[in-house]
């Protein structure tokens, strides 16, 4: 488990997260990451999106 | 197999050890980070990765630099812009070296303006944030039909002219160049001239001064384009920047952004298309997969990016404080360079890294870099390749090399093919 966090101040809008899992991630009109729902399940795909994010904007807070 | 090594003009390109003094050197004398053997990074680079991990080397201009080769270390360096800085250091250091054109601080500042790669956060963040909206998936979806048209037009022309063709001159170079025109908003009536200048600039067989002139002309054209967009902003990226950030961006910055997008977006995608097609022709089963299975191209593009790693090194970094890489202490103020090909063939990234297997296509490679400078154009480059490879192979299902002679381009910021004669059908 764990809680997914997206730091919009750090995001560079590379879109890797959306490419990896577009059920959880989206980009707003400025290209900055938004989470499609508040507390998504942290599965394999979400973890690989976190790894793929080049800017370090995504993190998982383990509970 | 012939490998050719020639020089390119250098006008502020820190990591390009081109320019006066290197003309006529042989491949053996290539700087370490550019050495390759066909598709593979040079054995010397692998030896560093498997041995001490990082080694102090001497760059062509006599500067000392640390060469970082392991995937995890490369990610770490790229992910830590506060320690490993991009701030225009190499240019400043090289300015005093023999053979480099003398430029005033004002000139240097103008050349740097708008170049995302020459700044650290927060100056970098400011520019990057303005450009990010133009490269979202949604924006790419709007460009996609035009990219398809451009690809199809060039395939039509190749088909009309008949086999054989030079895949580089007839397809790989012009397609990304027209896509950049589309993106920037270069008017239709200017495109023929625009392409003529780009082609001249990139044509290694032309004399250096002619190519430099084409480069100056292209920059002058960019300045006139920016002036036009400032007066009457159009629908392209430049028009958007003027409308949304016209108050905030200087004219030099707009010209710099346009030039950076042109340069970083042109030869990169071109070389991926050229080199990637040759790689697929060398692996006919994988070529067939990319041609016939619409789901294959996504992973195939990632694997080709990884395996080919056309950008040797990316920008040099300078340490802002003492650091440690692979257990080696690096002092403050030292130059750090990366081997992207060595990192992308690191067994720590994936199993059997030396093998091309378009079925796996794992993310995590560093072909687009990593960290804050991660390729801005990656969504565009991916879209271009996802369209271009299958379209090419479906049009010419039996595409094959028309010559034994493989003209790899060694002496360049970006690895690729100088030319790639291909044949199809009965010819
Ligand atoms: C600090 C970083 C960089 C700076 C300051 C820079 C700037 C430049 C400039 C001013 C030129 C000469 C252009 C001309 O003659 O009109 C050039 C050439 C080139 N750059 Fe860079 N660039 C940088 C990074 C990159 C990166 C990361 C790539 C690839 C992803 C790249 C790809 C190229 C290529 C392919 C050329 C060759 C163009 C030619 O031969 O004329 N550059 N660069
Ligand atoms: C397959 C093609 C491409 C490859 C392999 C590639 C590779 C790279 C790499 C490795 C970097 C990071 C350089 C560094 O950290 O020093 C980079 C940065 C960049 N690329 Fe690409 N690139 C490609 C296509 C494109 C395209 C099509 C565009 C634009 C239309 C583009 C625009 C840029 C820009 C503007 C940067 C600088 C980003 C920043 O500093 O924030 N690239 N690219
Ligand atoms: S991958 Fe990271 S940097 Fe890119 S859009 Fe997603 S959160 Fe932002």
User: For residues B272 and B308, is the Cβ–Cβ distance under 8 A?
Assistant: yes
The first and second tokens of residue B311, run together, are 């950008």
Q: Which ipTM value was assigned to this complex?
A: 0.78
Residue B411 has pLDDT above 70, yes or no: no
Q: Measured between alpha carbons, how far apart are the two ends of chain B, in Å?
A: 23
Query: What's the DSSP call for residue B117?
Result: G
Strands (E), B38-106: 40-41, 54-58, 64-68, 84-85
Is residue A23 packed enough to be buried (19+ CB in 10 Å), middle (13-18) or exposed (0-12)? exposed
- For residue A25, the SS3 value is strand
* Mean pLDDT on B221-248: 93
pLDDT of residue B209: 80
At B1, is the pLDDT very low, low, confident or very high (cuts 50, 70, 90)? very low
For residue B6, tell me if it sits in a domain. no
> pLDDT tens across B236-292, in order?
899 999 999 999 999 999 999 998 898 788 889 999 999 999 999 999 999 999 999
pLDDT of residue B427: 59
Buried-exposed string B173-204: b where 16+ CB fall within 10 A, e elsewhere: bbbbbbbbbbbbbbeeeeeeebbebbebbbeb
Q: Cis check for the bond before B128: say yes or no (omega within 30 of 0).
A: no
* Cβ count within 10 A of residue B255: 23
> pLDDT tens across B160-193, in order?
999 999 999 999 989 998 999 899 988 888 888 8
CATH number, domain containing residue A10: 3.30.70.20
For residue B195, tell me if it sits in a domain. yes
pLDDT in single tens digits along all 63 residues of chain A: 689 999 998 888 878 888 888 899 998 888 899 999 888 889 998 998 898 888 889 999 886
Residue B200 has pLDDT above 60, yes or no: yes
Residue B3 has pLDDT above 50, yes or no: no
**Which residue CA neighbors atom 23 of ligand 1 most closely?**
B13
> pLDDT tens across B144-168, in order?
999 999 999 999 999 999 999 999 9
Region of B159 (left: φ > 0; alpha: ψ -120 to 50; beta: rest) is: alpha
Q: How far is it, in rounded angstroms, from Cα B198 to Cα B180? A: 11
From A29's Cα to the closest Cα of chain B, the distance in A is 6
Domain membership of residue A56 as a residue range: 2-62
- Helix/strand/coil (H, E, C) string of chain A? CCEEEECCCCCCCCCHHHHHCCCCEEECCCCCEEECCCCCCCCHHHHHHHHHCCCCCEEEECC
For residue B18, tell me if it sits in a domain. no
Strands (E), chain A: 3-6, 25-27, 33-35, 58-61
For residue B99, tell me if it sits in a domain. yes
The first and second tokens of residue B177, run together, are 């160049």
Whether B314 contacts chain A with CB within 8 A: no
Residue B357 has pLDDT above 70, yes or no: yes
Residue B210 has pLDDT above 90, yes or no: no
Cα of A63 from ligand 2 centre, angstroms: 37
Q: Cis check for the bond before B164: say yes or no (omega within 30 of 0).
A: yes
The first and second tokens of residue B315, run together, are 């920008």
Task: Test A31 with B133 for CB contact under 8 angstroms.
Answer: yes
For residue B83, tell me if it sits in a domain. yes
Count of domains for chain A: 1
Measured between CA atoms, the residue of chain B closest to residue A54 is: B371
For residue B20, tell me if it sits in a domain. no
CATH number, domain containing residue B313: 1.10.630.10
Cα of B381 from ligand 3 centre, angstroms: 17
The helix or strand, by DSSP H or E, that contains position B424, with its residue range, turns out to be none
The helix or strand, by DSSP H or E, that contains position B59, with its residue range, turns out to be none
For residue B378, tell me if it sits in a domain. yes
Among B374, B380, B382, pick the best mutation site for testing chain A contact (most A Cβ within 10 A): B374
Measured between CA atoms, the residue of chain A closest to residue B81 is: A55
Count of domains for chain B: 1
For residue B17, tell me if it sits in a domain. no
Statement: the pTM of the whole predicted model exceeds 0.90: no
Please report, to the nearest 10 degrees, the dihedral formed by the alpha carbons of residues B263, B225, B86, B312 taken in order.
Answer: 0
Region of B52 (left: φ > 0; alpha: ψ -120 to 50; beta: rest) is: alpha
How many angstroms separate the Cα of B82 from the Cα of each of B39, B189, B323, B368? 33, 45, 11, 20
How many angstroms separate the Cα of B123 from the Cα of each of B19, B77, B105, B318, B337? 29, 19, 19, 17, 22
The first and second tokens of residue B266, run together, are 């042109």
Residue B26 has pLDDT above 70, yes or no: no
Domain membership of residue B242 as a residue range: 27-423
């Amino acid at each position: 488990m764990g809680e997914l966090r997206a730091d919009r101040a750090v995001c560079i809008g590379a879109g890797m997260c959306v490419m990896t899992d577009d059920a959880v991630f989206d980009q707003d009109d400025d290209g900055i990451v938004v989470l499609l729902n508040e507390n998504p399940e942290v599965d394999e795909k979400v973890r690989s999106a976190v790894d793929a994010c080049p800017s370090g904007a995504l993190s998982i807070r383990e509970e | 197999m012939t490998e050719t090594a020639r020089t390119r003009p250098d006008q502020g390109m820190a990591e390009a050890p081109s320019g006066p003094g290197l003309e006529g050197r042989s491949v053996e004398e290539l700087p370490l980070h550019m050495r390759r053997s066909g598709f593979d990074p040079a054995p010397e680079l692998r030896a560093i990765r498997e041995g001490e991990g990082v080694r102090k080397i001497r760059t062509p201009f006599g500067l000392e630099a640390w060469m970082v080769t392991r995937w995890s270390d490369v990610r770490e360096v790229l992910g830590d812009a506060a320690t490993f800085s991009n701030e225009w250091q190499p240019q400043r250091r090289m300015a005093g070296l023999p053979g480099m054109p003398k430029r005033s601080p004002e000139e240097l500042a103008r050349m740097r303006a708008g170049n995302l790669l020459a700044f650290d956060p927060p100056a970098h963040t400011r520019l990057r944030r303005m450009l990010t909206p133009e490269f979202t998936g949604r924006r790419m979806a709007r460009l996609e039909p035009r990219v398809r048209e451009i690809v199809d037009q060039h395939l039509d022309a190749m088909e009309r002219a008949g086999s054989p063709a030079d895949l580089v001159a007839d397809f790989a170079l012009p397609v990304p160049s027209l896509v950049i025109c589309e993106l920037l908003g270069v008017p239709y009536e200017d495109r023929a001239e625009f392409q003529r200048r780009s082609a001249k600039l990139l044509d290694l067989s032309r004399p250096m001064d002619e190519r430099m002139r084409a480069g100056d002309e292209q920059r002058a054209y960019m300045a006139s384009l920016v002036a036009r967009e400032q007066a009457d902003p159009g629908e392209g990226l430049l028009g958007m920047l003027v409308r949304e950030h016209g108050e905030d961006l200087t004219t030099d910055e707009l010209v710099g952004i346009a030039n950076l997008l042109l340069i970083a977006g042109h030869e990169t995608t071109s070389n991926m298309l050229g080199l990637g097609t040759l790689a697929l022709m060398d692996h006919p089963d994988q070529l067939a997969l990319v041609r016939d299975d619409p789901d294959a191209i996504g992973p195939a593009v990632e694997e080709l990016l990884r395996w080919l790693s056309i950008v040797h090194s990316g920008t040099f970094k300078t340490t802002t404080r003492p650091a440690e890489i692979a257990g080696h202490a690096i002092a403050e103020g030292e130059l750090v360079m990366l081997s992207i090909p060595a990192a992308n063939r690191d067994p720590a990234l994936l199993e059997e890294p030396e093998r091309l297997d378009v079925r796996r296509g794992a993310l995590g490679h560093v072909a687009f870099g990593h960290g804050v400078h991660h390729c801005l154009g990656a969504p565009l480059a991916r879209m271009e390749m996802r369209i271009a490879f299958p379209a090419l192979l479906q049009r010419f299902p039996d595409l094959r090399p028309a010559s034994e002679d493989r003209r790899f381009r060694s002496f360049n910021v970006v690895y690729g093919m100088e030319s790639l004669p291909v044949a199809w059908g009965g010819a």
